[in-house]
């Protein structure tokens, strides 16, 4: 197994100041992405999964946002301490990103080949003609039928699935080391989602690209990822290799999520489990476990202090933030 | 009343939208065949799930059943009475029996009304028209008890929609749909906009309400797993037609139409070992445009099992087992 890490995020906190108070959208997040690995970041809306990755690329709009603390080490270099110019060079070339909604992330008045070629021209210093040829080659590779002709089409002439392919072509055109995919298939139908996930999988295997896949869908995680981080209220509450997470989830939230998914592959219980209540408001969060008000196994201590990150194995591959486990390890 | 076996009986439902070209001299350039000949029946107390991808016509079917979209052809029999043939006054009175829960809990609630008023509004309107007899106090207490039944505390009665979370808003929408005591509830993607942990709360609430009020559901969703959990019967739609229908367990264990198989196989499962071992059917291409008239089977271009005969004529739904119908040439000639 290849152990060298390509991206290491430590103690990342991103905050937004609003009229109602300070929102700690990301609160002390740490994770590591190894070369060739696909890391899943899963959570519900507002859990901070997108903000985490926008912070990694320094794409947080400021004000109102501010990266309050932490470091993002890409091949040993701290992106949060780097100059804007240095980060700009890395973006697109070394780390690139695809977004949920391909229609709003593409420029409606530029031909798709021009948009793909733009990044190639910029990062590889190629001329317009060569860049366009490379863009068309990329479109072919990504499975856009009739690529030569479609190169001169505009985004609105493409279907949702094809637009997402264009986004992927653009993101992969400079052979990045890291691809961040933020809900890449959420806006797509299932049969198209299957096509796009397959494409991301084969492209990342081909180029040994490391992938951070942000999603709310545990099914997508199960099929795509090697390692998973579960986020809740701006924190990573559990991190585990994919099989372990689904086999024996350690955090009550992970357990609750898994139990509340209706499953087509087996006849489930008459009644689904459901986690009571709704996610907390992130404004002025108290120093306590954010999941405590909804947790079926809540204890006194949970409302008094936030649980620390506890390692569940020796290599530190599995960690959880829950007093149930911190208690066990201190008692032993 | 009528001694029909089915509460809802939809026959030959078609909704075609004309495409017009030109600015001054408009001419008809064709039709979008959103719903193109759909038949289904629902027994009292049953839940039928319509499943399919965007553009397959499932929502248009729901809107045509609810008479919010005038059908181009076909009948919508609710308890034996054709809704499409009613006069506007009759239809208004009949709406008491069928109500709708919408997908988006944000845009389907009036932002300037308080929660209790939103739920009471249908009662007020029907009382004013003399269709039901209720005074203001009764209406208010009905609204409050519905809130309670849908898991909203009475202290929320005077709050506005923006003060609620998505899940709570959907509860308001459900309470409003139940206010008039409908027999049929048409739920158009009621949980698609919600997070996983909230989705199961709402599905369970709908199940409880179905039992308590003996409701019949026409349930629209794109997620097969959600449909299988909630519905007793499933109809799979593709390009404006039903391609397969059976009870939920049969669809899950013995799907027959290649499209149903592909849908099932494309849905990601929260199980890494299964995900690694399963062989996924990946369909080629996109859903074709419903404005193009299709010769032959509409699924033919994407079908992994297409044959010559599929290009010649369109298959029709034919029984292949107990309550199981498939429209595909693989199972006999059309």
| Mean pLDDT value across residues B93-108 | 91
Model confidence at A29: pLDDT above 80: yes
A332 touching B (Cβ < 8 Å)? no
| Mean pLDDT value across residues B96-102 | 95
What residues pair up with A216 in beta bridges, in sequence order?
none
| Mean pLDDT value across residues A15-24 | 89
Nearest in space to B173 (alpha carbons), one of B209, B141, B130: B209
pLDDT at position B160 is: 95
DSSP string over A207-270: HT-EEEEEES-HHHHHHH-SEEEEEETTEEEEEEEHHHHHHS--SHHHHHHHHTS--SSS---S
Nearest in space to B300 (alpha carbons), one of B315, B319, B320: B315
Contacts 24+ apart (CB under 8 A), B275-281: B275/A219, B275/A222, B275/A223, B276/A223, B280/A194, B280/A198
In angstroms, the CA A231 to CA B82 distance is 51
* Chain A residues within 8 A of B285 when measuring between CB atoms: 145
Model confidence at A21: pLDDT above 50: yes
Q: Which residues contact A141 (CB under 8 A, 6 or more apart)?
A: A169
pLDDT at position A236 is: 96
pLDDT digits (tens, 9 = 90+) for A103-141: 788 899 999 999 999 888 888 888 889 999 999 988 888
ipTM (interface predicted TM): 0.85
Contact map slice: A 106-165 vs B, CB within 8 A = 145, 159, 161-162
In angstroms, the CA B74 to CA A95 distance is 55
Of A190, A258, A261, the CB nearest to B266: A190
pLDDT digits (tens, 9 = 90+) for A32-67: 999 999 999 999 888 999 999 999 999 988 888 999
Nearest in space to A274 (alpha carbons), one of B2, B45, B195, B81: B195
Read off the pLDDT band of B125 (50, 70, 90): very high
Nearest in space to B304 (alpha carbons), one of B260, B247, B254: B260
pLDDT at position A174 is: 84
pLDDT at position B172 is: 96
Å from A271 to nearest chain B CA? 7
* Residue with the larger pLDDT of the pair B121 and A186: B121
| Mean pLDDT value across residues A318-327 | 90
Model confidence at A331: pLDDT above 70: no
- SS3 helix, strand, coil % of chain A, rounded to 5? 35, 25, 40
pLDDT at position A269 is: 64
Å from B183 to nearest chain A CA? 23
Mean pLDDT rounded to a whole number for chain B: 91
What order do you get walking across the sheet with B324-326 strand by strand? B98-101, B184-188, B216-221, B47-51, B233-238, B241-247, B324-326, B318-321
Neighbouring CB atoms inside 10 A of B297's CB total 27
Q: Which of helix, strand or coil describes residue B179?
A: coil
In angstroms, the CA A165 to CA A229 distance is 26
In angstroms, the CA A38 to CA A79 distance is 21
Å from A193 to nearest chain B CA? 8
Q: Choose the mutation target among B56, B165, B196 for the interface with A, i.e. most A CBs under 10 Å.
A: B196
Model confidence at A332: pLDDT above 50: no
Q: How many Cβ pairs closer than 8 A exist between chain A and B? A: 127
Preceding peptide of A63 cis, ω within 30°: yes
* Residue with the larger pLDDT of the pair A330 and A258: A258
Cβ atoms of residues A261 and B270 within 8 Å = yes
pLDDT digits (tens, 9 = 90+) for A58-103: 998 888 899 999 999 998 899 999 999 999 888 888 999 998 877 7
Highest mean pLDDT among A55-69, A276-290, B23-37, B181-195: B181-195
Model confidence at A1: pLDDT above 70: no
* CA within 13 Å, CB half, A229: 25
Neighbouring CB atoms inside 10 A of B271's CB total 21
pLDDT digits (tens, 9 = 90+) for A132-156: 999 998 888 888 888 888 899 999 8
Cα separation values, A279 from A45, A253, B76, B197, B228, Å = 9, 11, 42, 9, 27
Quick one: angle between helices A112-124 and A128-141, nearest 10? 120
pLDDT at position A329 is: 55
Tell me whether residues A221 and B229 touch, CB distance under 8 A: no
Model confidence at B3: pLDDT above 70: no
* Chain B residues within 8 A of A47 when measuring between CB atoms: none
* Chain B residues within 8 A of A193 when measuring between CB atoms: 266, 268
| Mean pLDDT value across residues A161-173 | 87
pLDDT at position B105 is: 82
Cβ atoms of residues B12 and B39 within 8 Å = yes
Place of tokens 């709003």: A104
pLDDT digits (tens, 9 = 90+) for A233-273: 999 999 999 999 999 999 999 999 999 998 877 666 678 89
Tell me whether residues B249 and A267 touch, CB distance under 8 A: yes
What residues pair up with B11 in beta bridges, in sequence order?
B75
**Greatest Cα pair distance in chain B:** 67
Comparing alpha-carbon positions, the chain B residue that sits nearest to A198 is B282
Read off the pLDDT band of A315 (50, 70, 90): confident
pLDDT at position B4 is: 62
State whether the Cα torsion B262-B239-A160-B106 is positive or negative: negative
Model confidence at A165: pLDDT above 90: no
Cβ atoms of residues B290 and B53 within 8 Å = no
Place of tokens 């008023």: B117
Tell me whether residues A222 and B195 touch, CB distance under 8 A: no
Read off the pLDDT band of A158 (50, 70, 90): confident
A267 touching B (Cβ < 8 Å)? yes
**B293 burial level (CB within 10 Å; 0-12, 13-18, 19+):** exposed
Model confidence at A299: pLDDT above 80: yes
Cα separation values, A59 from A54, A66, A211, A304, Å = 5, 10, 18, 34
Å from A289 to nearest chain B CA? 18
Model confidence at A168: pLDDT above 50: yes
Of B222, B263, B270, the CB nearest to A261: B270
Nearest in space to B50 (alpha carbons), one of B237, B225, B204, B197: B237
Q: Which of helix, strand or coil describes residue B68?
A: coil
What residues pair up with A240 in beta bridges, in sequence order?
A228
Contacts 24+ apart (CB under 8 A), B313-320: B317/B39, B317/B242, B317/B243, B317/B245, B320/B256
Nearest in space to B187 (alpha carbons), one of B61, B5, B11: B61
Comparing alpha-carbon positions, the chain A residue that sits nearest to B207 is A271
In angstroms, the CA B92 to CA A2 distance is 68
Cβ atoms of residues A229 and B235 within 8 Å = no
């Amino acid at each position: 197994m290849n152990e060298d890490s390509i991206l290491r995020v430590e103690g990342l906190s991103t905050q937004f100041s609003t009229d109602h108070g300070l929102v700690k959208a990301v609160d002390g997040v740490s994770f590591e992405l190894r070369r060739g690995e696909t890391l899943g970041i899963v959570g519900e809306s507002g859990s901070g999964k997108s903000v985490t990755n926008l912070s990694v690329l320094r794409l947080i709009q400021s004000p109102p946002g501010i990266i309050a603390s932490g470091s993002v080490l890409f091949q040993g270099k701290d992106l949060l301490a780097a100059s804007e110019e240095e980060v700009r060079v890395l973006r697109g070339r070394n780390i690139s990103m695809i977004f949920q909604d391909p229609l709003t992330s593409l420029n409606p008045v530029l031909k798709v080949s021009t948009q793909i070629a733009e990044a190639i021209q910029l990062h590889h210093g190629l001329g317009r003609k060569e860049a366009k040829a490379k863009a068309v080659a990329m479109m072919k590779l990504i499975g856009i039928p009739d690529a030569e002709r479609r190169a001169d089409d505009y985004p609105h002439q493409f279907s949702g699935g094809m637009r997402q392919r264009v986004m992927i072509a653009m993101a992969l055109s400079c052979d990045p080391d890291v691809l961040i995919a933020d809900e890449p298939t959420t806006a797509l139908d299932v049969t198209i989602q299957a096509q796009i996930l397959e494409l991301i999988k084969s492209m990342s295997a081909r180029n040994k690209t490391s992938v951070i896949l942000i999603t709310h869908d545990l099914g997508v995680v199960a099929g795509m990822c090697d390692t998973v981080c579960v986020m809740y209220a701006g924190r990573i509450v559990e991190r585990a290799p994919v099989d372990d997470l689904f086999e024996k989830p350690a955090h009550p939230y992970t357990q609750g999520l898994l139990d509340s998914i209706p499953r087509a592959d087996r006849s489930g219980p008459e009644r689904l489990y459901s986690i009571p209540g709704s996610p907390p408001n992130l404004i002025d969060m108290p120093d306590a476990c954010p999941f405590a008000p909804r947790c079926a196994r809540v204890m006194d201590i949970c409302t008094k202090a936030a649980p620390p990150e506890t390692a569940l194995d020796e290599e530190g591959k599995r960690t959880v933030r829950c007093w149930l486990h911190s208690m066990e390890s201190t008692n032993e | 009343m009528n001694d029909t076996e089915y509460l809802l009986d939809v026959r030959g439902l078609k909704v075609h939208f004309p495409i017009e070209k030109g600015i001054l001299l408009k001419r008809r350039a064709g039709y979008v065949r959103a719903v193109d000949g759909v038949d289904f029946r629902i027994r009292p107390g049953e839940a039928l799930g319509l499943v399919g991808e965007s553009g397959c016509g499932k929502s248009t079917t729901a809107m045509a059943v609810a008479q919010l979209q005038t059908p181009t052809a076909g009948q919508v029999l609710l308890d034996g009475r054709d809704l499409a043939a009613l006069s506007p006054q009759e239809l208004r009175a009949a709406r008491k029996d069928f109500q709708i829960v919408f997908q988006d809990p944000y845009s389907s609630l009036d932002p300037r009304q308080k929660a209790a008023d939103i739920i009471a509004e249908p009662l007020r309107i029907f009382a004013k028209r003399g269709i039901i007899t209720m005074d203001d106090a009764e209406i208010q207490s009905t609204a409050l008890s519905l809130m309670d039944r849908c898991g909203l505390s009475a202290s929320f009665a005077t709050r506005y929609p923006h003060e609620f979370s998505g899940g709570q808003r959907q509860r308001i929408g459900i309470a409003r749909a139940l206010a008039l005591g409908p027999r049929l509830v048409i739920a158009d993607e009621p949980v698609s906009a919600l997070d996983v942990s909230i989705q199961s709360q709402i599905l369970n609430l709908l199940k409880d309400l179905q039992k308590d009020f003996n409701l019949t559901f026409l349930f629209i969703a794109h997620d097969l797993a959600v449909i299988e959990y909630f519905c007793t019967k499933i109809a799979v739609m593709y390009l404006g037609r039903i391609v397969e229908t059976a009870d939920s367990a049969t669809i899950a264990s013995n799907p027959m139409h290649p499209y149903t198989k592909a849908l099932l196989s494309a849905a990601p499962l929260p199980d890494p070992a299964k995900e690694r071992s399963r062989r996924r059917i990946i369909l080629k291409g996109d859903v074709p445009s419903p404005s193009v008239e299709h010769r032959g089977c509409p699924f033919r271009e994407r079908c992994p099992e297409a044959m010559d005969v599929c290009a010649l004529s369109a298959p029709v739904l034919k029984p292949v087992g107990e309550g199981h119908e498939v429209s595909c040439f693989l199972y006999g000639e059309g």
